[in-house]
Homo-oligomer: A and B are copies of this chain.
Amino acid sequence: MAFSPALSRLIDAFRILPGVGAKSAQRMAFHLLQNEREGGVYLAESIQTAVASIRHCRECRMFAEAELCEICRNEQRDASRVCVVESPADVMAIEQNTNFQGRYFVLMGHLSPIDGIGPEQLGLDVLRERLASGPVEELILAVGATVEGEATAQYIAELARQNDASVTRIAHGVPVGGELEYVDAGTLSQAFSGRRPL
Protein backbone atom coordinates (compact mmCIF):
# COMPACT_ATOMS: atom_id res chain seq x y z
CA MET A 1 0.00 0.00 0.00
CA ALA A 2 1.27 3.46 -0.83
CA PHE A 3 -0.09 6.92 -0.18
CA SER A 4 -2.30 8.44 -2.85
CA PRO A 5 -0.33 10.17 -5.65
CA ALA A 6 -1.04 13.73 -4.50
CA LEU A 7 0.01 12.86 -0.95
CA SER A 8 3.20 11.07 -2.04
CA ARG A 9 4.07 14.05 -4.18
CA LEU A 10 3.47 16.48 -1.32
CA ILE A 11 5.68 14.48 1.07
CA ASP A 12 8.35 14.28 -1.60
CA ALA A 13 8.16 18.04 -2.26
CA PHE A 14 8.68 18.95 1.40
CA ARG A 15 12.05 17.21 1.26
CA ILE A 16 13.54 20.07 -0.76
CA LEU A 17 13.52 22.11 2.45
CA PRO A 18 16.78 22.11 4.44
CA GLY A 19 16.82 19.79 7.45
CA VAL A 20 13.66 17.97 6.36
CA GLY A 21 13.98 14.19 6.00
CA ALA A 22 11.42 11.52 5.17
CA LYS A 23 9.79 11.49 8.61
CA SER A 24 9.50 15.27 8.99
CA ALA A 25 8.20 15.63 5.45
CA GLN A 26 5.45 13.11 6.21
CA ARG A 27 4.63 14.89 9.45
CA MET A 28 4.43 18.23 7.66
CA ALA A 29 2.15 16.86 4.96
CA PHE A 30 -0.22 15.24 7.47
CA HIS A 31 -0.32 18.30 9.70
CA LEU A 32 -1.04 20.54 6.76
CA LEU A 33 -3.84 18.35 5.41
CA GLN A 34 -5.32 17.67 8.82
CA ASN A 35 -5.10 21.04 10.56
CA GLU A 36 -3.75 23.73 8.28
CA ARG A 37 -5.35 23.64 4.86
CA GLU A 38 -5.78 27.40 4.81
CA GLY A 39 -2.24 27.85 6.08
CA GLY A 40 -1.07 25.53 3.32
CA VAL A 41 -2.73 27.63 0.64
CA TYR A 42 -1.13 30.72 2.20
CA LEU A 43 2.27 29.03 2.20
CA ALA A 44 1.91 27.98 -1.44
CA GLU A 45 0.98 31.50 -2.48
CA SER A 46 3.80 33.01 -0.42
CA ILE A 47 6.33 30.75 -2.11
CA GLN A 48 5.02 31.64 -5.55
CA THR A 49 5.06 35.38 -4.82
CA ALA A 50 8.53 35.21 -3.32
CA VAL A 51 10.02 33.18 -6.16
CA ALA A 52 8.48 35.54 -8.72
CA SER A 53 9.36 38.84 -7.06
CA ILE A 54 12.52 38.45 -4.99
CA ARG A 55 15.86 39.03 -6.65
CA HIS A 56 19.25 40.29 -5.51
CA CYS A 57 20.08 43.93 -4.82
CA ARG A 58 22.28 45.27 -7.63
CA GLU A 59 24.75 46.80 -5.18
CA CYS A 60 25.01 44.41 -2.27
CA ARG A 61 23.34 41.15 -3.44
CA MET A 62 20.93 41.14 -0.49
CA PHE A 63 17.48 39.71 -1.27
CA ALA A 64 15.31 42.57 -2.50
CA GLU A 65 12.14 43.10 -4.49
CA ALA A 66 13.34 46.38 -6.04
CA GLU A 67 16.59 46.85 -7.92
CA LEU A 68 18.19 48.20 -4.75
CA CYS A 69 17.56 46.88 -1.25
CA GLU A 70 16.31 49.06 1.58
CA ILE A 71 19.79 49.68 2.96
CA CYS A 72 21.39 50.56 -0.38
CA ARG A 73 18.49 52.95 -1.11
CA ASN A 74 18.99 54.69 2.23
CA GLU A 75 21.11 57.81 1.66
CA GLN A 76 21.69 58.13 5.41
CA ARG A 77 23.84 55.02 5.49
CA ASP A 78 27.59 55.52 5.28
CA ALA A 79 28.76 54.24 1.91
CA SER A 80 32.42 54.46 2.93
CA ARG A 81 32.10 51.51 5.29
CA VAL A 82 31.12 48.17 3.79
CA CYS A 83 30.60 45.06 5.83
CA VAL A 84 31.05 41.76 3.96
CA VAL A 85 28.93 38.86 5.19
CA GLU A 86 28.11 35.37 3.96
CA SER A 87 24.31 35.43 4.13
CA PRO A 88 21.22 37.64 4.44
CA ALA A 89 20.72 36.22 7.93
CA ASP A 90 24.07 37.73 8.93
CA VAL A 91 22.87 41.16 7.77
CA MET A 92 19.80 40.81 9.96
CA ALA A 93 21.90 39.71 12.94
CA ILE A 94 24.24 42.71 12.59
CA GLU A 95 21.36 45.14 12.07
CA GLN A 96 19.58 43.88 15.16
CA ASN A 97 22.56 43.69 17.49
CA THR A 98 25.04 46.40 16.55
CA ASN A 99 24.79 50.07 15.65
CA PHE A 100 26.64 49.66 12.37
CA GLN A 101 25.52 52.45 10.05
CA GLY A 102 27.42 51.50 6.91
CA ARG A 103 26.43 49.29 4.00
CA TYR A 104 26.78 45.60 3.25
CA PHE A 105 27.96 43.18 0.70
CA VAL A 106 26.38 39.74 0.84
CA LEU A 107 28.47 36.92 -0.62
CA MET A 108 25.66 34.34 -0.51
CA GLY A 109 28.16 31.67 0.45
CA HIS A 110 31.92 31.33 0.72
CA LEU A 111 34.70 30.21 -1.58
CA SER A 112 34.45 26.46 -2.04
CA PRO A 113 36.17 25.31 -5.23
CA ILE A 114 35.08 21.73 -4.60
CA ASP A 115 31.43 22.80 -4.93
CA GLY A 116 32.22 25.02 -7.91
CA ILE A 117 31.89 28.21 -5.88
CA GLY A 118 34.58 30.63 -7.00
CA PRO A 119 34.95 34.43 -6.85
CA GLU A 120 32.44 34.85 -9.65
CA GLN A 121 29.66 32.94 -7.84
CA LEU A 122 30.18 35.17 -4.81
CA GLY A 123 29.80 38.29 -6.94
CA LEU A 124 33.31 39.46 -6.17
CA ASP A 125 33.43 41.23 -9.54
CA VAL A 126 30.58 43.42 -8.29
CA LEU A 127 32.50 44.06 -5.09
CA ARG A 128 35.68 44.88 -7.03
CA GLU A 129 33.77 47.43 -9.08
CA ARG A 130 32.33 48.97 -5.94
CA LEU A 131 35.81 49.22 -4.43
CA ALA A 132 37.24 50.71 -7.62
CA SER A 133 34.51 53.26 -8.23
CA GLY A 134 33.23 54.17 -4.80
CA PRO A 135 34.73 55.89 -1.79
CA VAL A 136 35.09 52.72 0.31
CA GLU A 137 37.45 53.49 3.19
CA GLU A 138 36.94 50.46 5.37
CA LEU A 139 35.95 46.98 4.36
CA ILE A 140 34.82 45.03 7.41
CA LEU A 141 35.02 41.27 7.06
CA ALA A 142 32.33 39.48 9.02
CA VAL A 143 32.61 36.06 7.40
CA GLY A 144 32.59 32.81 9.33
CA ALA A 145 35.68 31.62 11.19
CA THR A 146 35.79 28.38 9.20
CA VAL A 147 38.44 27.18 6.80
CA GLU A 148 36.35 28.34 3.84
CA GLY A 149 35.53 31.62 5.56
CA GLU A 150 39.22 32.16 6.18
CA ALA A 151 40.09 31.58 2.52
CA THR A 152 37.28 33.90 1.48
CA ALA A 153 38.51 36.58 3.89
CA GLN A 154 42.06 36.37 2.54
CA TYR A 155 40.85 36.66 -1.03
CA ILE A 156 38.67 39.70 -0.30
CA ALA A 157 41.39 41.37 1.79
CA GLU A 158 43.72 41.14 -1.19
CA LEU A 159 41.03 42.64 -3.42
CA ALA A 160 40.57 45.53 -1.01
CA ARG A 161 44.29 46.23 -0.75
CA GLN A 162 44.57 46.43 -4.54
CA ASN A 163 41.94 49.17 -4.34
CA ASP A 164 43.46 51.06 -1.40
CA ALA A 165 40.64 50.28 1.01
CA SER A 166 41.66 49.37 4.54
CA VAL A 167 40.43 45.98 5.72
CA THR A 168 39.32 45.02 9.20
CA ARG A 169 37.89 41.82 10.55
CA ILE A 170 35.41 41.39 13.37
CA ALA A 171 36.97 39.93 16.51
CA HIS A 172 36.94 36.20 17.11
CA GLY A 173 37.39 35.04 20.68
CA VAL A 174 35.68 33.85 23.81
CA PRO A 175 31.92 34.59 23.63
CA VAL A 176 30.65 37.14 26.13
CA GLY A 177 29.27 35.22 29.11
CA GLY A 178 31.25 32.14 28.07
CA GLU A 179 33.33 30.26 30.59
CA LEU A 180 36.91 29.57 29.58
CA GLU A 181 36.82 25.88 30.39
CA TYR A 182 33.98 25.25 27.95
CA VAL A 183 35.50 27.17 25.06
CA ASP A 184 36.93 25.03 22.27
CA ALA A 185 40.66 24.94 21.55
CA GLY A 186 40.57 26.92 18.32
CA THR A 187 38.55 29.76 19.81
CA LEU A 188 40.75 29.96 22.90
CA SER A 189 43.94 30.02 20.87
CA GLN A 190 42.41 32.69 18.61
CA ALA A 191 41.38 34.72 21.66
CA PHE A 192 44.88 34.46 23.13
CA SER A 193 46.74 35.53 20.04
CA GLY A 194 44.24 38.35 19.54
CA ARG A 195 44.70 39.81 23.03
CA ARG A 196 44.66 43.59 23.35
CA PRO A 197 46.08 46.04 25.91
CA LEU A 198 43.56 47.07 28.56
Contacts and interface: CB of A to CB of B under 8 A. Distances in A.
A46 B1 contact: no
Contacts of A40: 16, 47, 50-51
B47 A92 contact: no
Contacts of A66: 4
Interface stretch (A22-30, A134-142, A163-171, A177-185): A22-30
A53 B6 contact: yes
Contacts of A31: 17-18
Contacts of A51: 32-33, 37, 40-41, 44
Interface residues of A, number: 57
Contacts of A123: none
Main SS of the interface on chain A?
helix
Interface string A150-188: 000000000000000000000000000000000000000
Given A6-B49, A54-B33, A19 B27 contact: yes
- Of the candidates A10, A30, A46, A71, the one having the most CB atoms from chain B within 10 angstroms of its own CB is A46
A2 B37 CA distance: 28
B28 A18 contact: yes
Contacts of A18: 27-28, 31
This chain: copies in complex: 2
A37 to B, nearest CB: 5
B49 A9 contact: yes
A48 B32 CA distance: 11
A54 B4 contact: yes
B92 A30 contact: no
A171 to B, nearest CB: 23
Interface of A: 1-7, 9-10, 12-14, 16-19, 24, 26-34, 36-37, 39-51, 53-54, 63-66, 69-71, 87-89, 91-92, 95, 108
